[in-house]
Structure 1
């Protein structure tokens, strides 16, 4: 219609150039009338149909818009992911955000500040249904009563996220009851509540937009898996903070609860460290492509209000190049080796190369300072990802300093000798991380995450990595036995099979693109050690321009929230 109006103005302008003194009456305005209605067909969904308007056949479910039809059609209507149980009315009532009220009197005082923020997000989501202008005003009062049973605000792998949601409406008012163990279950219920509301755009010539709420609903829901993650790589391409927040918004709509922030790699180091400013000075692409300490804290809070835990990854000992190359200049020696090596094959998986130097004690002191900053950023109890994959033994083998150190430790230069060096690095890194968290008041030791690697192979892992301290993120393809092997050995695991849930596949080399059918067909084992899954947006071929289309979260989450 917008194009039509613009074209009409052009035509009028041309006609005016011929005769601007025409006194004939203008033609009557054309009022747009919809050409289609939508019928809810059981077990099939919404089918487009021709006129007449609703009411011609009282036994048929016919709606004036596809959005409205989808909201009430079928057992689950427009709810996504599908809840455990749901009973929805096919009737709707008009509502307006100005007459929406949230009652928090049954929530502990300690929870109310974050609940208020969560209700603000839900209200804004409703307004956004009408592109920011809900112009059909009705004064029907809508009250949402929120009951939260615990005061615990921690967001962990053991956080209870289940909720119950009841909607009851009459001609005079609508009442919604939300009951949850935690504020995060209540947040999920608010998300579901917004999915029970559809825009209703009136075709009356004024193009007004209103909101309709499902008139009655009873819903109970809880996630299948504890860890429902999305990984974003901000090292290979810098992603502006506003775009990251948009991804968090998308994650929240489908109740994903972990933002795995692959913040650094050998390509760049955009994460500000107050204690080691050289990281960004030497590692950021530019002074404008840095995540400041204030922005990091604000993002973590932004995510938390949306029920999302931020897991920062500092990849090491491999994938550590730019940002670590300044040691010699400051008298610290080589903090990393093979950095930006020209003859890179055999030294790293892809250029630019770089691996931390475990023979340099100063490297550990610098790493500790970085850990102090990360520990201060993350809410407690903190979950931290230490990277740990794709260590190229050839890189360490090319350093005389490292070979001399290995000899002093009685490590030979066989694969097993380098594995011992690799294991030693993780042991020291974990001890430093524990010490920094203890200094901040976190008494109980928490597990950290590592990528699967040669170190985590089933025949080797028990010698080097404790099952109580490490969560292994398995990225091997779906035909690999490693995931099941680690579960049987008692390790907690997160699955991100590269041939299914890597979003960059199909755009380089011999990789194949996974469509939504293939992603949905993949299921995870049901085992207490199977924490959940994650989709990964590596950014070699993605920047902020293509991020949202590449990572359409709603098509990737099925199977890690619902069964």
Structure 2
């Protein structure tokens, strides 16, 4: 019996000693681990063998995240700024001793900047998974200067900023200077990217501190005004929390337009207080609806993060479920071909549905919907009217529509249906303008349309005013349409479907674009090229796979649109590796870029 107690005591003693070695409770015991060295022209390299943490010095770091934050010309910044000078030294900080000085922010804009600082502080804490365990009293003051009180977010908003970090006598001063609150927001985002978690990898004992670059001088501004992401929430419903998380990723990547393709022929989850039938007949269930209150909250959530919400109500095609109640309420057919079984001759994909331009009641209902949207969007509002993939066979199958066309003198030919299509957009724009005026907008604002047969170069000028319409071109890169529209004086947003469609490669004969291919595609640098978007269509994705399908590929497009850098993807990869971990800390499950060994040995897997 005595022998058993001795053996048990020795086992317990061994466990205690092992635990002390793991946790570092004993001041003289250090668990060897990997360290990372910043090597000029190569990046961060993992040590050849595990080393005691006390050996870290100079450009050798315990944390790969800290190494990436200081290594190279742009450290771990994403997207890369115009110019940056970064110290290779860091100082340990704690959010408890961080404060913001807003004395040079106009009173009218101060509340919004306060909300932006709360987001920034939360992002810092997230770097340590919500628990910064290593407390230090280093004083950090972020001085924010905003020159104008205007909080409108438009294509004309000045988003440039300057950021300086200085460390002196044990305290840190961060200066952010911007013309607008949105430039200041971008500066705050860059400030958070100058901070990295210092946590030993593979340790059972969780300890995490934050290290801030001790000195920095950054000057930055975007190349393109419109840096967007399209999210389709009609084909498969995406919960509002997942949309917020997507907007968090956009903010981290300095994207500024959330293009919300909220309705299609499949479902109508967008609540209209004036026309409750839309969601009653069009939502997949009572639980898969975006309420008017949720929409308003999301718009504000995005605005605080420097993101403009552009609501798209696709029409006159892609309009089915949600519109099929007209006869029941005495309004006639608001839409035709809805849920038609023989869909291949009537629409691009099941279920079918196109608005009925021969029915004046349809325009009355559309007005009520537009009024709801005009009241919800911040002014000046940007609205997307959809406008693509009209199938003439659907309209031609309706006796009501063909009779209307004859009364108007339109032949039931391609050009006749083009005239009917253009008439719809003319009336829809007039309704939108009237509702915007009623909502307080003085000057008519441009609206967006998808490229289509109506926007082809040989006919667009006949039907669409270049001062009123911005065309979103989703043609393949081989198409001449983008160049042709520019020559005609139209403003464009580019989303080349064979490069920047995130759903491609998961269905049919489409080709998957990895982040390198997306990053390498460049847009023309012309004033009428407002920018571009990366698109997540949801036929084959829902909330379960959303993050990995979107990120980090959308971030690659974000840097292309913000910085449009000349160097290729290989030079960008170490920074994107750091950004991927940053997104993960903020709750986004980004897809992996490479094997972990490659991530720990920059430039060795090119």
| TM-score relative to the length of structure 2 | 0.88
Q: Is the 8 A contact 2:502 2:549 kept in 1?
A: yes
Instruction: Give the number of the structure with larger relative contact order, counting CA–CA contacts within 8 Å between residues 6 or more apart.
Output: 2
Query: C-alpha distance in 1, partners of 2:348/2:118?
Result: 45
Structure-2 change in CA distance of 1:34 and 1:533 (3 Å): farther
**Alignment match, 2:241:** 242
**Alignment match, 1:360:** 359
Quote the offset at 1:521 in angstroms: 1.5
Report whether the alignment pairs 1:554 with 2:555: yes
Query: C-alpha distance in 1, partners of 2:270/2:507?
Result: 27
Structure-2 change in CA distance of 1:352 and 1:34 (3 Å): farther
Query: C-alpha distance in 2, partners of 1:56/1:248?
Result: 41
Secondary structure (helix, strand or coil) at the match of 2:559 reads coil
Of residues 154, 173, 176, the one that matches 2:174 is 176
Secondary structure (helix, strand or coil) at the match of 1:438 reads helix
**Alignment match, 1:207:** 206
**Alignment match, 1:4:** none
Q: Is the 8 A contact 2:35 2:56 kept in 1?
A: no
Question: In the TM superposition, what whole-angstrom CA distance separates every residue of 1:1-60 from its partner, at most 9, and x where no partner exists?
Answer: xxxxxxxxxxxxxxxxx98994445211242324211111112211111355688697x6
Q: Is the 8 A contact 2:337 2:352 kept in 1?
A: yes
Quote the offset at 1:381 in angstroms: 0.1
Q: Is the 8 A contact 1:53 1:64 kept in 2?
A: no
Question: In the TM superposition, what whole-angstrom CA distance separates every residue of 1:233-276 from its partner, at most 9, and x where no partner exists?
Answer: 00000000000000000000010000000000000000000000
Structure-2 change in CA distance of 1:217 and 1:53 (3 Å): farther
Query: C-alpha distance in 1, partners of 2:499/2:197?
Result: 34
**Alignment match, 1:153:** 151
Question: In the TM superposition, what whole-angstrom CA distance separates every residue of 1:178-209 from its partner, at most 9, and x where no partner exists?
Answer: 00000000000000000000001158974311
Query: C-alpha distance in 1, partners of 2:425/2:44?
Result: 54
Question: In the TM superposition, what whole-angstrom CA distance separates every residue of 1:286-308 from its partner, at most 9, and x where no partner exists?
Answer: 00000000000000000000000
Query: C-alpha distance in 1, partners of 2:323/2:540?
Result: 24
**Alignment match, 2:27:** none
Q: How does 1:478-493 map to 2 (within 5 A)?
A: 478-493=477-492
Report the more deviating stretch, 34-43 or 338-347. 34-43
Secondary structure (helix, strand or coil) at the match of 1:274 reads coil
Secondary structure (helix, strand or coil) at the match of 1:555 reads helix
Query: C-alpha distance in 1, partners of 2:295/2:55?
Result: 57
Query: C-alpha distance in 2, partners of 1:550/1:507?
Result: 10
**Alignment match, 2:604:** none
Q: How does 1:113-512 map to 2 (within 5 A)?
A: 113-201=111-199, 206-512=205-511
Q: Is the 8 A contact 1:54 1:62 kept in 2?
A: no
Query: C-alpha distance in 1, partners of 2:53/2:465?
Result: 64
Question: In the TM superposition, what whole-angstrom CA distance separates every residue of 1:364-423 from its partner, at most 9, and x where no partner exists?
Answer: 000000000000110000000000000001100000000010011000111111000000
Secondary structure (helix, strand or coil) at the match of 2:343 reads coil
Secondary structure (helix, strand or coil) at the match of 1:167 reads strand
Report whether the alignment pairs 1:105 with 2:103: yes
Query: C-alpha distance in 2, partners of 1:205/1:44?
Result: 31
Report whether the alignment pairs 1:519 with 2:518: yes
Query: C-alpha distance in 2, partners of 1:19/1:349?
Result: 78
Of residues 52, 74, 83, the one that matches 1:76 is 74
Question: In the TM superposition, what whole-angstrom CA distance separates every residue of 1:420-476 from its partner, at most 9, and x where no partner exists?
Answer: 000000000000000000011100110000000000000010000000000000000
Quote the offset at 1:558 in angstroms: 2.3
Secondary structure (helix, strand or coil) at the match of 1:29 reads helix
Secondary structure (helix, strand or coil) at the match of 1:558 reads helix
Which runs of no fewer than 5 residues in structure 2 stay unpaired?
A: 23-30, 565-606
Structure-2 change in CA distance of 1:398 and 1:19 (3 Å): farther
Query: C-alpha distance in 2, partners of 1:245/1:404?
Result: 46
Query: C-alpha distance in 1, partners of 2:8/2:321?
Result: 72
Q: Is the 8 A contact 2:387 2:450 kept in 1?
A: yes
Report the more deviating stretch, 195-204 or 93-102. 195-204
Structure-2 change in CA distance of 1:374 and 1:62 (3 Å): same
Secondary structure (helix, strand or coil) at the match of 1:133 reads coil
Query: C-alpha distance in 1, partners of 2:421/2:102?
Result: 52
Quote the offset at 1:555 in angstroms: 2.8
Query: C-alpha distance in 1, partners of 2:94/2:72?
Result: 25
Secondary structure (helix, strand or coil) at the match of 2:560 reads coil
Query: C-alpha distance in 2, partners of 1:55/1:127?
Result: 26
Query: C-alpha distance in 2, partners of 1:426/1:214?
Result: 53
Query: C-alpha distance in 1, partners of 2:543/2:200?
Result: 35
Q: Is the 8 A contact 1:316 1:387 kept in 2?
A: yes
Query: C-alpha distance in 2, partners of 1:361/1:449?
Result: 24
Quote the offset at 1:63 in angstroms: 1.1
Query: C-alpha distance in 2, partners of 1:416/1:205?
Result: 70
Structure-2 change in CA distance of 1:23 and 1:559 (3 Å): closer
Report the more deviating stretch, 549-558 or 216-225. 549-558
Structure with more of its chain in helix, by fraction: 2
**Alignment match, 2:84:** 86
Q: Is the 8 A contact 1:165 1:177 kept in 2?
A: yes
Secondary structure (helix, strand or coil) at the match of 2:183 reads helix
Which runs of no fewer than 5 residues in structure 1 stay unpaired?
A: 1-17
Secondary structure (helix, strand or coil) at the match of 2:462 reads helix
Q: Is the 8 A contact 2:33 2:51 kept in 1?
A: no
CA RMSD of aligned residues (A): 1.6
